[in-house]
Amino acid sequence: MADKKPLIISKIVIDRDLCIGAATCVTIAPGTFKMDDENKAVLVDIRGDEAETILLGAESCPTKAIFLYDENGEQIYPYV
C-alpha cells in the first residue's frame, strides 16, 4: 500500500442536483454536513470533523454528490 500522506481537505462542493437526500454523509460526518429544508445536504463546517471522517462521508454518498479538493485544488474524491 502507498505511503500515507496527511489528508487535507481545503474545499468541499455538494452538487445539489445529484443529492437525493440519502443523508449518509450527515450520519457519518454530522459536524460537516446537514440536511436543509429541501432535503439536500449542505456544508456546515469544513473542519467540523476529522478529514478522514469527511472523506468517509463523501465516499458514503450513493450519488457521488460530494466533491473534495486538497490545498492545491486537486480533486481528492470522487476517485473515478
Residues lying near another protein in the complex (CB under 8 A) are found at: 1-2, 17-18, 20-24, 27, 34-35, 37-39, 59-60, 62-64, 78-80
d(CA 67, CA 59): 10
Q: How far is the CB of 62 from another protein (least distance, A)?
A: 4
**Nearer Cβ to another protein, position 21 or 47?**
21
CA geometry: angle 36, 37, 40, nearest 5 deg: 45
Q: How far is the CB of 37 from another protein (least distance, A)?
A: 5
Q: By C-alpha distance, which of 3, 8, 15 is closest to 70?
A: 8
Q: How far is the CB of 44 from another protein (least distance, A)?
A: 12
Between strands 33-35 and 41-43, the pairing is: antiparallel
